Every structure is written in structure tokens, then in C-alpha cells.
Structure 1
Amino acid sequence: MSTNYSLLFYLKKSKNYVSGPKPIYMRITVDGIPKEVSTGRECDPSKWSSKANRMKGTTEAVKTLNTYLYALASKVSTIHTTMTAATEEITAESIKLRYQGKDIKRTQFLEVFREHNMQMEALLGNGFKPNTLKGYKTSLLHIGQYLTFFNWFASEFLPDLLFRLTALLISTDDFTLLFYTEITARPLL
């Protein structure tokens, strides 16, 4: 199991590139296998130092970008150290996934609630009464119904409402825009 890795920041040129800034990519290499991740930043090629893997200059924008790249390198280093300490298999892909937060198993709220209710059912008679479990099951039912309604509302009704309000705002005066801005700034509940 290899524990060494290399990290490189570089400018990636797209196929139809003519001129202007290029996106900055981070390449993580383990055992000769590279994986690339976009940093979400761009740099003009004339201002990029390939030797330093950083932007050249002393302006505030250059310092900010270089600090951001150092922070990314530090985050990858921390991930590598954590994986080494946990004796996990270290590959370029596993470091990339951990960096992107995609390696974490995400559980949904209702699944966790159902598991809780099953555990509570097993504990009946050991300090827990049937009415307690009944309350938990009722809560699960109500939350499930609420989430189902909210998902329907958000996917079916809300986009149409926002479209109509936007069309209305485009066709009305500044007073309506101020009123709409005031209404949307207030909390719903």
C-alpha cells in the first residue's frame, strides 16, 4: 500500500481555446495514476508560473488566489494524513472523492427515524411504554406526509409561481418591485 502522493496545480486548455484565462486544475497522483479536480478558479496563462504552480505577481488578487491554492493543498494533505492514520487504502480516486465529499455515506432523515423506531420497539418494556412508540410512529407518519407535500410543492407549484411573479415584475413599475423585494425578504413562518 503506497502512502506517497503528488499534487500539481496547472492550467487546463479546452479544445476550442483561443485566448483569455484558463481554468486551474489540481492533479492528484498516487502510484502513477492521476485524477484531476477543478479548483473553480481561472488564471491568465501569461501570469501563471508552471514551476511554482502558482500565479505570478504581488497584487491582492494574486495573493488571494495563491492563498486559496495553498489552502487546497493543505486540505489534500490533511485528507492524506487522515487516511494514512486510519490505514485506509490510498488511491488518487479515494483522495479525490474524500476532497469532494462524495465518499461519505449519506442517510436520509426518514431512514434514520425508521431505524430509531425499530430500536424503540425492541426496548418496549425496558423503561419504554407502547404509547411512546405510538407517538414516534405518528411523528414519522406526519413528517413523511409533510416532506411529500413539500417536495410536490417545490417541484410542481413553486417554479410556475416564480415564473409568473417574474413576468409580473418585468411588466410593472418600480413600486411593485419594491413591494416584492419587501415581501420576499420576510420569513415565511
Structure 2
Amino acid sequence: MRSTFKVLFFLKRDKQKKDGSVPVYCRITIDGKEARFGMKKYIDPKLWNIKEGKATGKSAESSEINALLEKTKAGIHKIYRDVQERENTVSAEKVKNIFLGIDSKQYMLLKAFDEHVEEKFNLIGKRIVKSTYHRYYYLRVRLSEFLTEKYHLSDIPLREINYQFIRDFEMYLLTVRGNKQSTIAQYLINLKKIVELAYKNEWIYRNPFINYKIEDEKSERGYLSQREVEILMNWKLDKRLERTRDVFIFCCFTGLSYIDAFKLTKEQIQLSIDGQQWIMGKREKTDMDYFIPMMEIPKKILEKYKNHIFKDGKLLPVKTSIMVNRHLKQIAEICGIKKHLTFHLSRHTFATLTMSKGVSLESVSKMLGHKNIQTTQIYAKMTTEKIGRDMAIFAESIRETERKFVVNF
């Protein structure tokens, strides 16, 4: 059932100033109940049209007041429609309070962010890795800088986050911070998660991301060719670099991420019914199960280090991420590999090489511990070897057709 709704402006003549001007008030009426508030504007009563509820004439004063009244009326009408759409009841007092920004519960962006970041911090080592926490932490830093530089604010109500705010933040990251598009996309994805959480909690009643397209650069995922892997495997290195190289190669043939290789223990190496060794566990990043049959190269690497004692029963000599990345850079230079070696690259290499040798997308997805197969498709690469092999099969299948083809000169 629709309610009766009206917005009127009037003069409060009992509050006349010494110069004769009186304050302009707004009256909101819904279902016969009123709510009033002052417009913080004064006018000469002679310039006021009581019947129309606005200033008369075309003077600068009258034009300024009428423009304010129109803007106020439009804002109140919008609030009324919004509240009516999302709630069963709407009152004049509620509409007034929302318009004046004194709604009983006003949730702030950075305050909500702080609560979320604190929650993420408490989940480190349980459901998320430290890098996930850091992404939210640095996004919070960027938002604070943006609010200060763009709006001169220390925080902003969540309900004021709109399409233009998101667009301005994206431009700030691009032009002021000089971030890459992939970094900007990750920031916006995480901001979207916070805003959608606020929407689900009914702290806001419109999702400003609903029509916002987050652009992400489609960068090619790097990987090593089989030849490059063989070069790394057989190059003579000093003991310090050799250990890091061995772990990297282990991941090239298992698809384990850095953190999962770092935490690999004997309990995760299990035998199947046919006696085959498997690596089984849950991905640290996504908490998804993974099952990886052990090939000879990973087995040989584990055998190499089986008599070494590492902290907490770990099986591999994995250093800190900073040290590992430093080692991998040196290894690439020594071996003449013109690619940026990282443990992401070893994981991409596993996905690419297995699929190029005919392993199905579904199997690779399961071994990588992906939540959905679309993620695996990003990693997969059609190498020239597989394309050549597939086309050779195709050519053989149409050999008879080829023989029947006659070229007339």
C-alpha cells in the first residue's frame, strides 16, 4: 500500500531577525505525520510566495534560494523512494534523519575496513596466508591517502560510496600512485568485497559496484619450456643455490606453491592401493584439497634430502621468500634463463607441461587445488609441441581425403 507523501517549504515567522528576514523551513509529511528542519537560509518575507512555497522574482537571492529548495526536494524524494523500496514502512522522521546525515546508524568505510583487516589478521595461518592480509592492509592505506588528498576527509560514510567514487579511486591509483592495471584490479576486487559485505549486512542499501566493470590486463602467464627445465636441473651450482634450485624443480613437477612446499611434511606423502606415492594436502591459500601422484624427479629430490633434519619435520630445504627470490634471480642469471624465476612460474610450468603432454584440464585443476576449472584455464598453455602433435594426428586422420584431392594446373 502506497503512503501519502509531500514536501513543502515555509517561513518560520516567529524567528524573525532584526533585519526583518525570516528562516526558511522544510516540512516532510508522510501519512499525515510531519517532520521539520531548518534550511539555514533567511529571506525577506516580501520575496516569499506562500502558495507556491518558494521565492518570487528573478533576483540573485531568489534564484539561489529556489535552486537550494529544488535540490533539497529532489534529494528527499530520492530518499523516500529508496526507503520505500527496501523497507515495509517509511516515516517522515526517518527520511529527514537520512537526508540530514543523522541516521541512527552511520557506518564508515575505513572503520568497516579496520574491522575486516583485523579479522583477516586473526585468520593468518588458519584460513589465509600473510600475503592475503597484506593486500587488504595496503588497500586500506591507499584508501586513506585517497580520502585525504581528494576529499580532505579522514573517513567517509559507506552510503556515500558511489560509482564516481570508485572511478575516482581507480584514476588515483593509476595516475597518482602509478599502479599497474593488474594491481588496480586487485585493489578494486578487494574493495568490492568490503562493499558487498556492507550490503549483505544492510549497512548500505545499494551496491555501487553493481554496474562497475573492473578492467584487468590480460597478461600472459610465464612458464618454462621443457628444455629450460632440463637446463636448470643439470646445471652445477654451489650448495646454497642448489637447494633452492632443487625445491623449484620439485614444484615444476608437482605444481606445489611456495607456501605448500615450505610446509610439506612426511605425513602428506601417502601410498595408493597400487603402491604409488602421492602428495596429499590442503592448499594454504584456498583450503582446497590437492592430490598429486609423485613422478621420479620429485621422488629423487625427496630421497636426496631424506637424511637432513629441517625444522618442524619439513621435507625440503625451503628458505624465506625473500632469500628464495634472491637465489632464483642468481640462478636464472647463471643458467642463462631470460625469464623471471618465481614459484608462481614453477606452478605455471607444471600446469603447462602436463597439459601439453595430454593431461586433462580436470586432472590438472585437481592437482593444483583450484576452486574452479576456470582458474586452471588461465595457467594452461598450448605449446607448439602439443599443437604440432595434435595437427599430426589430424593430418593422419584425413590422409585418405588428401589422396583424393587433385590439383588442376
Task: Decide: shared fold, TM above 0.5.
Answer: yes
Q: Which residue of the partner structure matches residue 85 of structure 1?
A: 85
Residue 178 of structure 1 is matched in structure 2 by: none
Match of 1:53 in 2: 53
1:116: Cα distance to partner? 2.1
Q: Residue 42 of structure 2 aligns with which residue?
A: 42
**Structure 2: how far apart are the matches of 1:15 and 1:39?**
13
Does 63-72 or 106-115 show the bigger shift? 106-115
CA displacement at 1:17 relative to structure 2? 6.0
User: 2-side partners of 1:19 and 1:113: how far apart?
Assistant: 50
Deviations 1:40-63 (A, max 9, x none): 111111111000101111123212
Q: Which residue of 2 aligns with 1:102?
A: 102
Determine which structure has more spread, i.e. the larger CA radius of gyration: 2
2 CA distance for matches of 1:35 and 1:95? 9
Q: Is the 8 Å Cα contact of residues 2 and 30 (structure 1) preserved in structure 2? A: no
Aligned to 1:20, the other structure's residue is in SS state coil
Report sequence identity in percent.
22
Question: 1:72, 1:89 → 2: CA distance?
Answer: 22
In structure 2, do the counterparts of structure 1 residues 114 and 76 end up closer, same or farther at CA, with 3 Å as the change threshold?
closer
- Displacement of 1:28: 0.4
C-alpha distance in 1 between matches for 2:66 and 2:27: 16
User: Cα distance 1:123–1:34, how it changes in 2: closer, same or farther (>3 A)?
Assistant: same
Go from structure 1 to structure 2 and tell me whether the alpha carbon gap of 1:71 and 1:123 turns closer, same or farther (over 3 Å shift): same
Please name the residue that 2:129 is paired with: 128
Structure 2 residue aligned with 1:23? 23
Rate the CA distance shift 1:41–1:3 in 2: closer, same or farther, 3 A: same
Q: How far did residue 18 of structure 1 move?
A: 6.3
Structure 2 CA distance, aligned partners of 1:62 and 1:111?
A: 42
Alpha-carbon distance in structure 1 between the residues aligned to 2:86 and 2:111: 30
Which residue does 2:350 correspond to in 1? Answer: none
What is the deviation of 1:95? 0.5
Find the aligned partners of 1:127 and 1:50 in 2 and give their Cα distance: 64
Whether contact under 8 Å (1:2, 1:31) holds in the other structure is: no
1:184 maps to which residue?
A: none
Aligned to 2:84, what secondary structure does the other structure show?
Answer: helix
Residues 31, 114 of structure 1: alpha-carbon distance in 2 compared, 3 angstrom cutoff: closer
Which range is displaced more, 36-45 or 97-106?
A: 97-106
Name the SS for the 2:14 alignment partner.
coil
Distance 1:64 1:15, change over 3 A: closer
CA 1:15–1:69: 2 relative to 1, 3 Å:
closer
How far apart in 1 are the matches of 2:111 and 2:86? 30
Contact kept? 2:16, 2:23, Cα under 8 Å:
no
Unaligned runs of 5+ in 1: 137-189
Matches within 5 A, 1:2-13: 2-13=2-13
Q: Is the 8 A contact 1:30 1:92 kept in 2?
A: yes
Equivalent in the alignment of 2:120: 119
CA distance in 2 between partners of 1:15 and 1:54 (Å): 18
Q: Distance in 2 between matches of 1:67 and 1:16?
A: 22
The number of residue pairs the alignment matches comes to: 136
Structure 2 residue matching 1:42: 3-state secondary structure = strand
Q: Measure the CA separation in 2 of the matches of 1:93 and 1:85.
A: 17
Seen in structure 2, the aligned counterparts of structure 1 residues 58 and 114 have a Cα distance that, compared at 3 Å, is closer
Q: Secondary structure of 1:106's match?
A: coil
Q: State the 1:9 CA deviation.
A: 0.3
Aligned structure 1 segments of 4 or more residues deviating by more than 4 angstroms: 15-19, 107-112
Higher-strand-fraction structure: 1
Give the equivalent residue in structure 1 for 2:76.
76
Check whether the contact 2:16–2:22 (CA below 8 A) recurs between aligned residues. no
Q: Secondary structure at the match of 1:14?
A: helix
Query: Structure 1 residues 24-33 or 108-117, which shifts more?
Result: 108-117
Deviation at 1:31, TM superposition (A): 1.6
Report the CA distance between 1:126 and its aligned residue: 3.7
Maintained 8 Å contact 1:2/1:90: no
CA contact (8 A) 1:3 1:84 kept: no
- Cα displacement (A) at 1:108: 8.1
What's the TM-score, normalizing by structure 2?
0.30
Q: Which runs of 5+ in 2 are unaligned?
A: 138-409
TM-score (norm 1): 0.60
